[in-house]
């Protein structure tokens, strides 16, 4: 990663309870944001600012990233990282709180991109919120979509709730005729879907 604020964010995040997206996943996020010319994005799970930096690098220069997390310490670190990367204070709106309480207060159809990387057991609820928040042509992205074990649930294996939700999320998005999905095998898996 080299030196600088992003490298520092990776170092801090790797020791935290909020592990960062890897650089390949970050590059994919940057690409998606740039491909749609994202001006407004929502991130669920600020962490230490790693994925936010990748998103901001792909978004247009006057864009705004709204990022939500319950941890004030993480958000303070992310704010410093964003500033150190050269993103002005107006480029990131950090909101502290539970995402399922914050997201309903955000504007319907007001966002180009929604990235979710927190509380994986709530991903199906975040799917509903992402649909509402995205404008036509917007993209929703869920991190960790390939973390489910290949071993089937059964009497010898207790199902992990997050794995069960990940499988259901992929199935719901794939079967939804109102979405154009793509499951990308980078990192822990990125499930992206365009809302036409």
Instruction: Output the pLDDT for position 146.
Output: 85
Which residue segment(s) compose the domain that 137 sits in? 5-195
Asked whether residue 148 carries a pLDDT value surpassing 60, the answer given is no
Token pair 């950090």 in the structure block, residue: 94
pTM of the model: 0.92
Tens-place pLDDT, residues 53-111: 999 999 999 999 999 999 999 999 999 999 999 999 899 999 999 999 999 999 999 99
Instruction: Output the pLDDT for position 111.
Output: 98
pLDDT band at 192 (very low <50, low <70, confident <90, very high): very high
Give the CATH number of the domain where residue 136 resides.
3.40.50.150
| Number of domains the chain contains | 1
Q: Which residues of 115-152 are buried (b: 16+ CB within 10 A; e: fewer)?
A: bbbbbbebbeebbebbbebbbeebbbbbbbbbebeeee
Name which of 69-78, 133-142, 159-168 the model is least confident about.
159-168
């Amino acid at each position: 990663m080299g030196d600088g604020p992003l490298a520092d964010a990776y170092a801090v995040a790797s020791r935290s309870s909020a592990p960062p997206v890897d650089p390949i996943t970050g590059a994919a996020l940057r690409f998606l944001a740039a491909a749609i010319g994202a001006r407004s994005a929502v991130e669920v799970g600020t962490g230490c600012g790693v994925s936010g930096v990748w998103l901001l690098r792909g978004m247009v220069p006057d864009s705004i990233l709204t990022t939500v997390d319950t941890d004030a310490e993480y958000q303070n670190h992310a704010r410093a990282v964003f500033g150190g990367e050269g993103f002005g204070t107006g480029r990131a709106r950090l909101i502290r709180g539970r995402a399922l309480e914050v997201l309903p207060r955000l504007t319907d159809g007001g966002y180009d991109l929604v990235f979710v990387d927190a509380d994986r057991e709530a991903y199906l609820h975040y799917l509903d919120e992402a649909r509402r928040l995205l404008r036509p042509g917007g993209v929703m992205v869920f991190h960790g979509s390939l973390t489910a074990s290949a071993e089937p649930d059964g009497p010898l294996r207790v199902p992990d709730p997050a794995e069960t939700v990940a499988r259901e999320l992929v199935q719901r998005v794939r079967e939804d005729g109102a979405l154009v999905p793509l499951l990308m095998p980078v990192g822990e898996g990125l499930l992206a879907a365009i809302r036409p």
